[in-house]
Amino acid sequence: MKSKYLGEFEMVVLGAVLKLGDGAYGAAIRQEIELGSERSVSIGALYTTLTRLEAKGYVGSRLGESTPQRGGRAKRYFRVTDAGEAQLRRSFAALNRMLEGVL
C-alpha cells in the first residue's frame, strides 16, 4: 500500500470538485479554482490531474446526458469518492498541524 500525501494542486482540485457537487465538469472546475485561488490554470493541466486522481480512485466520473443548448461535446462530471475525501482530510490536516502556530 502506498498512501502518500496529496500534492498541492491535487488538493485544490479535489476541493473545487467537492464545492461544486453536481455540476463539476472541466470548465466549471477550472473557474472555481481560478476564482478561489487566484491562479490561472490551463484546461489541459486540469484534466491531467483529474485523470490521475481517477486512476488512484480519488474521483469518479460519468458522462452527462447529451442535452446541450448549443452544440459541443458531452460534459464529463466528476465527483470525489469517499477515499478521495478521506485522503484530502488527512493531507490537509497534516499540513495544518505543521503550520499551526507559525502561519
Site for DNA in 16-45 (CB under 7 A): 25-27, 40-45
**What would the x/- binding string for a second copy be over residues 60 to 89, using CB under 8 A?**
----------------------------xx
* 3-state secondary structure at position 51: helix
Whole-number Å distance between alpha carbons of 45 and 69: 26
Whole-number Å distance between alpha carbons of 12 and 37: 8
7 forms part of the interface with DNA (CB under 7 A) = yes
Site for a second copy in 23-42 (CB under 8 A): 33, 36-39
**How many other CB atoms sit within 10 Å of the CB of residue 50?**
23
Contact 52, 44 (CB under 8 A): no
3 forms part of the interface with DNA (CB under 7 A) = no
Site for DNA in 75-94 (CB under 7 A): 75-76
Distance of closest approach, residue 66 Cβ to a second copy, in angstroms: 29
